[in-house]
Structure 1
Amino acid sequence: MSNELIFQDATSLAALIRRKEVSPVEVVKAHLDRIEALDGQVNAIVILAEGALSAARIAEAAVLAGEELGPLHGVPFTAKDSIDTAGVMTQRGSPIFRGRTPGQDATSVARLKRAGAILLAKTNLPEFSYWIESDNLLSGRSNNPWDLERTPGGSSGGESAAIAAGMSPLGLGTDLAISVRGPAAQTGITSMKATHGRVPMTGIWPRAPRRFWHVGPMARSVRDIALAFAQLAGPDGQDAFSTLAARDLGNLSEKPTRPLRVGWMVGPGFGPVDPQVAATVKAAAQALADLGVAVEPVGIPALERDFALDVFNRLHVMEMKPAFAQATVGRREDELYKMARTMLSLPDTSMSDFIEAEQAAERIRDGYAEYFSRYDALITHVLPIPAHKHGVESFVIDGQTVDATYLQGATVPLNVAGLPGLSMRFGTSRDGLPINVQVVGAWHDEATVLQVATLLEGVSQVKGLHPALGRPQGAAEAGCRSS
C-alpha cells in the first residue's frame, strides 16, 4: 500500500482521502518512509517539518467527523528552502542564514495549507537559488533519481528530485530564469511558471528585485498543477506585482474542446539544441496535429534579434547585487559558495547597456504579443539537452560549444516577457533519461497552457511517459526502483 501511495498524484491522494479509502496519516507516513529509505542517496530534503504527522492526525479526524474538506485535504507537500515556512527553518542554502526560522508562512505555503495540504519537508537548492545545479555549503549536492551521477537541476532541484523519487507528490519551487521548468525537465516531472505576478512572491527571498521571479507548483501530473495553481493564484495585498484574481480554468479534457492554433519551434533564438530534444518537440507538435489541432512550425523574429539570455543577464546583474550586498552585511563574503561569489564578481552593466537591454526586453515582449495575436500556444523545448553530469561547465550541443548558462536559452525568454510556461515530459533520451517540452501561452492564459498540456499528457500516458506511471529506473542501486 505504501508503494502505491508514493506514486499517486496529489489529485488521486486527495480523492482517496475524501472517500476514506486511505487516511492522511498513512499518506504522510508513506512519504516519510520513502524519504528515510532514499534521501541518503538523493539528498533532496533539507529538513523535515516536525508537525507533519500531528497535522495528518488532525486531518484524519476532520475526515472522520464529516467536516468540510479542502481540495488538497491531507495531501503532503514540500517547499523549496527559499520559501518561508512558519516554525520550520528556511536557510536559503547559505551559512549566512544558518538556523533562520521564519515566524510566518510565505503566501504560497499558507494557501496550500488553507486548501488542506500538509507541509512535509523543505527541499534543497543552490545558495540563494542562483544556479542550475542544487548544491550549497549547508546541505550539499542533490542527485537525480534517474542517475545519481547527474543533476536534478536548479534552482528547484531538490524539489524536482523529491517528486520524481516518490518522496513528495506536490511541491513549490521558484523560477528566475529556468528554476521551476528546468529541474522538472531534468527529472521528468511537471511544473508551471505562471504569468508574472499571478502567484505572490511574498515570503520568498529576495524581496527585491522580483520583476523576473516567480513561484510555482511542481507535481506528477498536469491536473495536479491546475489544482495547485487554482489555490495559489491571486493578489495577497502585499506583492504589488500580483493584482489579478484567479480565473476559472475550466474542465481540462484529453480531446480538443475548441479550435486551437499552435506553433512549435526549437530556434533560432534559443541557442543550439540536441537533435533528440528537437525531435521530441516535433513529436509533441505532431501529437497535437493528430488530435485535430492546427499546428505549424514558427519563428519569432524578436528572439532572433535580441538573445533573451543576454538581455536578462545585463538587466539582472545590475539589479541583484544590492540584494546580495544586503545578504552579506558585515563583509561575510568568505561564507559564500562558489556561484554567489561569481555573481558578486561580475562587472556592473553600464547605464547605456542597461537602457539598451530594457529596450530589448520590450522588443521581446512585443514579439510575443504579435505571435499570440495569431496563435493560442507555443511548443518549445525546455532544456537543449537531457539531464547532464554534475559539475559540467560547458557542453557541445549539436556541434556548438556553449557554457552552462546556455541551458536557459528557451526558458529565460518567458521570464523576460512574464509569460506562462509549463514543463512536462514527452520523450526519452538514448540514455533512458526524460525529455520535457515546454507549453507557452499568452499573458494570464494559463487555462490554454493547461489544456494543451492535458492533450499532450493524454498521448504521453499511452506512450507510458506519465510521471505517475514512469518511475525512475536509472538509480536502482540507490533504491529508486519501485518494483
Structure 2
Amino acid sequence: MSDDIIFFDATRLAELIRTKAVSPVEVVQKHLDRIEATNPAINAIVTIAGGAIAAATAAEKAVLAGDDIGPLHGVPFTVKDSIDTAGVLTQRGSPIFKGRLPGVDATSVARMKATGGILLGKTNLPEFSYWIESDNLLSGRSNNPWDVTRTPGGSSGGESAAIAAGMSPIGLGTDLAISVRGPAAQTGITSMKATHGRVPMTGIWPRAPRRFWHVGPMARSVRDIALAFAQLAGPDGYDGFATSTVQFDAGIGRQPDRPLRVGWMVGPGFGPVDAEVAATVKAAAEALKDLGIHVEQVGIPALERDFALDVFNRLHVMEMKPAFREAIAGHEEQTYKMAKTMLSLPDTSMADFIDAEQAAERIRDGYAEYFRGFDALITHVLPIPAHKHGVEKFVIDGHTVDATYLQGATVPLNVTGLPGISMRFGTSREGLPINVQVVGSWLAESTILHVASLLESVSPVRYLHPKL
C-alpha cells in the first residue's frame, strides 16, 4: 500500500486515515518525497508550505484520540499560486509580487482546511493567471508529466501537473475561460468549474472580470470533486456573486427522478476538432447509451450564430486591462509576454461591447432552451491533446487556428456561468490523455456529477498514471 499512496484519490486516503490503516504523517511524507523526486523535472510546485508534517502529526493524534474529524482529515492538498494562503507565499506568477505573504486564507482555502485538509504547497501558473501555458518570469515553466516537452496547460497547469504526477491528491485552481478544465484534460485528471458564484472568489486575484472567474477543485476522481465541492460551495458574506444557498448532496450526485436525457456534440459552434478527440466524445456518448441512458447527437444553434470565444474576447479585455495596468505600474520591466500582450490589445468600442453583451445573452438563452429537453451535454474539453511548449498556431482538422482557439468548447461555460466537469475518457495515438466535458444547467452540479460518475465507472483509462 505504501508505494501506491501517491496515486490514491483523496477520498480513499481520508478513509484509510479515519480507520487508522495509514498515518497522515506517512501520507504527507510520501507526497513530500514525491515532490522532491519529480518536481525538478515537472516544476509544478513553486512553494512548499511550512508546517505540513506538524499538521499531520496533530491530525494523527486527533484520530488516535477518537476526536470528531472532517471528511478530508489528514489529507494533503495543493493550491494554485493566485489563491491567498495565510503565511505562505502567494506570488501570482510574477516577480512584481515576489515575497508576498497574505495574512488571511482565501475562502476556498479556509474551507479546505476546515475539512481537515493539510496545505502542502503552492502550484505554478502563468503570469497573473492569464494564458493557456503555465510559464512566468518568477518560477519558470511547468511541464506535462506524460511528456515533459508538452504543456500541462494554463492557467492551473501547475496544479494539474502536480496531481497527475502524484505530488498531490487534490487541490484548487481557478478558471477564467479554460483554466481548471483544460489543464485537467492535458494531464488526464478530473476537475469542475461549478455554476458561477457557487464557490466564493474571495482572496483570489485577479478578480476582473469577476463575472467570468471561478475557483474549483481538481483531483483524481469524480467522488473527490463531489466531496470537495460540497465543502467549497456557499456564500461567505464577501463575494457578491456567491449568493446561492441551494443545498448540495455531499455524495456523487443525485439522479433525476425520471430517465436521463443526454446530448453530445463536438460542433459546430466550438471551432475545429481533432478526429481522435471527436471520437472520444462519441465513445463517451455510446458508453452512456450502453448504460441505458437516452443519448443523441445535438446542436445548439446559438453557438453557431455567436462564437462564444469571440464574444468573450470582446468583453473581457476591457475589464482586465485596468487591473493589469494597476499591477504593473512602476514595474513594467518585470512583466512577461502575456501582460504585455493584454495591454497592447485595442480597446473594444462601446458599440461592440454592447453587441457582445447581447450576444452573450443569446448564448445563455440557447443553452436554456437546450436544457429544457436535456439533463446534460457531453462535449470535448480541448480540440487536441496536450501540445508542445510554445506553439502558437495549430492545424486542426485542416484548419489553421491560433492558440486561443483551444478555449472554443470551454469558454462558453464562462460566458454563461454554466457548470462543467473535465474527465478523462480516452488516449491519443501518442499516449496522451483525452478528456470529455460534462455540462449541466445552472446549479445542476448533482446531475453532472452523477453523469460523470457513470462515465468514470466504464472509463477505459480510469487507472492510468504517468510513469516518472
TM score, norm. by length of structure 2: 0.98
Question: How much has 1:334 moved relative to structure 2?
Answer: 1.7
> C-alpha separation between the residues in 2 aligned to 1:452 and 1:149?
33
**Aligned residue identity for 2:465:** R
1:451 aligns with 2:450: yes
> C-alpha separation between the residues in 2 aligned to 1:183 and 1:163?
11
> C-alpha separation between the residues in 1 aligned to 2:51 and 2:250?
35
* Equivalent position of 1:240 in the other structure: 240
**Aligned residue identity for 1:454:** S
> C-alpha separation between the residues in 1 aligned to 2:51 and 2:87?
9
> C-alpha separation between the residues in 1 aligned to 2:253 and 2:442?
21
- CA gap of 1:256–1:246, structure 2 versus 1, over 3 A, is closer
SS of residue matched to 2:90: coil
SS of residue matched to 1:438: strand
* Equivalent position of 2:424 in the other structure: 425
1:263 aligns with 2:257: no
> C-alpha separation between the residues in 2 aligned to 1:133 and 1:364?
27
- 1:196-237 CA deviation, whole Å, 9 max, x = no partner? 000000000023331100000000000000000000000000
> C-alpha separation between the residues in 1 aligned to 2:70 and 2:270?
41
**Aligned residue identity for 1:31:** H
> C-alpha separation between the residues in 1 aligned to 2:85 and 2:251?
32
Question: How much has 1:258 moved relative to structure 2?
Answer: 4.6
- CA gap of 1:256–1:321, structure 2 versus 1, over 3 A, is closer
- 1:333-378 CA deviation, whole Å, 9 max, x = no partner? 2210011110110000000000000000000000000001110000
* Equivalent position of 2:194 in the other structure: 194
1:301 aligns with 2:301: yes
SS of residue matched to 1:167: coil
SS of residue matched to 1:152: coil
* Equivalent position of 1:472 in the other structure: 466
> C-alpha separation between the residues in 1 aligned to 2:246 and 2:84?
22
* Equivalent position of 2:355 in the other structure: 356
> C-alpha separation between the residues in 1 aligned to 2:160 and 2:180?
8
Q: What percent identity do the matched residue pairs reach? A: 79
> C-alpha separation between the residues in 2 aligned to 1:326 and 1:126?
18
Question: How much has 1:51 moved relative to structure 2?
Answer: 1.2
Question: How much has 1:61 moved relative to structure 2?
Answer: 0.7
- CA gap of 1:195–1:83, structure 2 versus 1, over 3 A, is same
**Aligned residue identity for 1:296:** E
Asked whether the 8 Å contact 1:256–1:293 carries over to 2, the reply is no
**Aligned residue identity for 2:149:** E
- Structure 1 stretches of at least 4 aligned residues deviating more than 3 Å after TM superposition: 250-258
> C-alpha separation between the residues in 2 aligned to 1:248 and 1:163?
25
SS of residue matched to 1:296: strand
> C-alpha separation between the residues in 1 aligned to 2:74 and 2:285?
37
Question: How much has 1:298 moved relative to structure 2?
Answer: 0.4
> C-alpha separation between the residues in 1 aligned to 2:250 and 2:178?
27
* Equivalent position of 1:337 in the other structure: 336
- 1:245-288 CA deviation, whole Å, 9 max, x = no partner? 25232643899985100000000000000000000000000000
* Equivalent position of 2:8 in the other structure: 8
> C-alpha separation between the residues in 2 aligned to 1:441 and 1:249?
16
- 1:295-336 CA deviation, whole Å, 9 max, x = no partner? 000000000000000000000001001111121122x22210
* Cα RMSD for the two superposed structures: 1.2
Asked whether the 8 Å contact 2:254–2:446 carries over to 1, the reply is no
**Aligned residue identity for 1:357:** A
- CA gap of 1:15–1:246, structure 2 versus 1, over 3 A, is farther
- 1:428-470 CA deviation, whole Å, 9 max, x = no partner? 001011000000000000000100000000001xx2x11xx21
Asked whether the 8 Å contact 2:47–2:123 carries over to 1, the reply is yes
Structure 1 stretches lacking a partner, 5+ long: 474-479
SS of residue matched to 1:135: coil
- 1:29-50 CA deviation, whole Å, 9 max, x = no partner? 0000000000000000000001
> C-alpha separation between the residues in 2 aligned to 1:202 and 1:394?
35
- CA gap of 1:444–1:424, structure 2 versus 1, over 3 A, is same
Structure 2 stretches lacking a partner, 5+ long: none
**Aligned residue identity for 2:130:** Y
- 1:148-192 CA deviation, whole Å, 9 max, x = no partner? 000000000000000000000001000000000000000000000
**Aligned residue identity for 1:11:** T
- CA gap of 1:82–1:244, structure 2 versus 1, over 3 A, is same
TM score, norm. by length of structure 1: 0.95
* Equivalent position of 1:371 in the other structure: 370
> C-alpha separation between the residues in 2 aligned to 1:450 and 1:219?
13
> C-alpha separation between the residues in 2 aligned to 1:434 and 1:251?
26
Aligned residues: 468
Asked whether the 8 Å contact 1:256–1:455 carries over to 2, the reply is no
SS of residue matched to 1:140: coil
* Equivalent position of 1:406 in the other structure: 405
* Equivalent position of 1:477 in the other structure: none
- CA gap of 1:451–1:164, structure 2 versus 1, over 3 A, is same
